């Protein structure tokens, strides 16, 4: 019996693909090795959203080849789809399998181990070990629950959508993942019910462009999916990952706000607060549209987590453009931000645009927004002190005898007094904020109030 190890890079979608790949190998009777250095087959499931992601994948290939020279290194994922020959040229790589063939990965590599070789007297790679085809003709969607290794018994993530029909000028994802496609509703309900039966209390649904779920199916929409999960499963808490601003319809906002079984957590990618930059990015909304959506969300859910992706250093971003972004971040009720520095991606329109922003300028803008986001998150946490809030227990802190970490319904880490079983939804009282984390306790209202008063 052979052994395998999957190392994932990048987003939740990539992690979901990695979980499905592991499932493929297990179904073929292979065992998962504890580390890459112990495996006979090592699969690197790559990301290519930034130059740093590409660099990380190449570094991992070199490390694994050095530590485990006899293993079969298989490289798949978005970087493999974008630049297969670049990867195939690296020492130790046996096979390169793009996203177009990822659904057959275990089948492809289960044959005899034949390392990639250069053809005789040519500076070329043996094409027989590269599996790539037109990603826009690809219709498969890998789906398997992803579990956080640190919290194995809580909060599985289920990818229900892949690909993207948008064509943002900075983004390479459509080129490596193809058009938007949805996991059928019956399959999603089956997966969620299986997770509930296995004892999970929260499931996170995710996708590359999640709000477009159902557009390729027979007249279904993302709110239809949320309604169906609430109606046809007994899941205690559904958490929705990132949804584009134009897909936060009034119906979806009302649905999230009104159901106690949907986490009060919204992630609304913004990218820029400058109208000029949004147009250059080919984003489908204007700053005032975005602001209106976020204000509607806050009005409907006063204590909800509201997060955003923001990019700095996009080509041509002036000091005035950045100031517009900084100002809208300051004004809107964000509780956290993911701040990215623009990275040119080969094949995108933005990569050839003039007026590329100097790296040191982009990094300083990144720092300014991260500091602002940290201040807003701290203010949000402090606003919850003295309140009761729902939280799901993660695990007891092994370094402290009487502490359990949890995650609140509105996406904040809450350190609870006492040791509690993981994977339990509890009512907690927020006692304070220490070292950037909320501190709380569980118990009856009277006991908690007495504890707080002391």
The CATH classification number of 145-263 equals: 3.30.750.210
- Alpha carbon distance 215, 228 (integer Å): 16
Q: Which residue from 76, 21, 73, 82 is spatially nearest to 48, judged by alpha carbons? A: 82
Q: What is the pLDDT of residue 129?
A: 82
Average pLDDT value for the chain: 90
Is the distance from CB of 154 to CB of 392 less than 8 angstroms?
A: yes
Domain boundaries, the chain: 3-133, 145-263, 269-383, 388-453
| pTM as predicted | 0.88
- Tell me: the pLDDT tens digits for 297-311? 999 999 999 999 999
Mean per-residue pLDDT for 335-340? 97
- Distance in Å from the first CA to the final CA of the chain: 61
Is the distance from CB of 369 to CB of 329 less than 8 angstroms?
A: yes
The maximal CA–CA distance of the chain, rounded, in angstroms, is: 82
Question: Percent of the chain scored above 70 by pLDDT?
Answer: 90
Q: Is the pLDDT of residue 127 over 80?
A: no
Of 34 and 114, the structure prediction assigns the larger pLDDT to 34
**Does 388-453 carry CATH code 2.40.50.140?**
yes
311 forms beta bridges with 340
- In terms of Cβ atoms closer than 10 Å to its own Cβ (0-12, 13-18, 19+), residue 70 is exposed
The half-sphere exposure of 422 on its side-chain side, counting CA atoms within 13 A, is: 13
- Alpha carbon distance 178, 212 (integer Å): 14
The CATH classification number of 269-383 equals: 3.30.750.200
Helix axis angle for 287-300 and 319-331, nearest 10°, is 10
Q: Which residue from 52, 45, 23 is spatially nearest to 99, judged by alpha carbons? A: 45
Given this chain, do its domains 145-263 and 269-383 carry the same CATH topology? Answer: yes
Pairing type for strands 425-434 and 388-396 reads antiparallel
Is the distance from CB of 306 to CB of 319 less than 8 angstroms?
A: no
Fold assignment, 3-133: Rossmann fold (3.40.50)
Residue 17's φ and ψ, nearest 5 degrees, are -60, -40
Q: Is the pLDDT of residue 120 over 80?
A: no
- The dihedral built from the CA positions of residue 152, 156, 161 and 163, taken in this order, carries a sign that is negative
């Amino acid at each position: 019996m052979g052994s395998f190890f999957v190392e994932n890079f990048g987003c939740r979608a990539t992690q979901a693909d990695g979980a499905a790949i592991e499932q493929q190998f297990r179904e073929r009777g292979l065992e998962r090795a504890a580390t890459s250095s112990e495996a006979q087959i090592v699969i690197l499931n790559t990301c290519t959203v930034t130059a740093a992601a590409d660099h990380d994948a190449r570094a991992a290939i070199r490390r694994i080849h050095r530590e485990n020279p006899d293993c079969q290194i298989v490289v798949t994922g978005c970087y493999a789809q974008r630049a297969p020959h670049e990867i195939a040229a690296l020492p130790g790589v046996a096979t390169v399998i793009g996203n177009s063939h990822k659904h057959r990965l275990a089948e492809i590599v289960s044959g005899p181990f034949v390392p990639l070789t250069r053809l005789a007297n040519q500076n070329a790679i043996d094409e027989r070990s590269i599996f790539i085809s037109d990603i826009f003709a690809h219709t498969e969607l890998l789906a398997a629950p992803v579990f956080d290794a640190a919290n194995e018994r809580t909060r599985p993530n289920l990818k229900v959508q892949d690909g993207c029909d948008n064509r943002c000028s900075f983004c390479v994802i459509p080129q490596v993942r193809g058009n938007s496609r949805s996991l059928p509703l019956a399959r999603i309900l089956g997966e969620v019910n299986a997770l509930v039966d296995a004892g999970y209390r929260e499931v996170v649904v995710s996708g590359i462009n999640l709000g477009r779920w159902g557009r390729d199916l027979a007249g279904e929409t993302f709110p239809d999916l949320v309604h169906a999960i609430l109606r046809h499963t007994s899941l205690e808490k559904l958490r929705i990952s990132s949804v584009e601003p134009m897909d936060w319809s009034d119906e979806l906002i009302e649905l999230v706000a009104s159901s106690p079984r949907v986490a009060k957590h919204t992630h609304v990618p913004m990218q820029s607060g400058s109208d000029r930059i949004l147009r250059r990015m080919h984003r489908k909304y204007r700053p005032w549209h975005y602001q209106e959506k976020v204000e509607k969300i806050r009005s409907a859910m006063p204590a909800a987590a509201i997060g955003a992706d923001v990019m700095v250093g996009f080509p041509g971003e002036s000091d005035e453009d950045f100031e517009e972004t900084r100002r809208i971040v300051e004004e809107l009720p964000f509780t956290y931000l993911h701040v990215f520095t623009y990275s040119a991606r080969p094949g995108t329109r933005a990569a050839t645009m003039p007026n590329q922003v100097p790296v040191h300028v982009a990094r300083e803008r990144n720092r300014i927004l991260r500091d602002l986001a940290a201040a807003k998150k701290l203010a949000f946490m402090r606003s919850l002190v003295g309140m009761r809030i729902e939280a799901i227990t993660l695990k007891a802190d092994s370094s402290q005898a009487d502490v359990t970490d949890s995650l609140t319904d509105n996406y904040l880490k809450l350190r609870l007094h006492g040791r509690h079983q993981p994977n339990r939804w509890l009512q907690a009282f927020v006692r304070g904020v220490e070292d950037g984390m909320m501190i709380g306790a569980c118990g009856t209202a009277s006991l908690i109030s007495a504890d707080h008063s002391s």
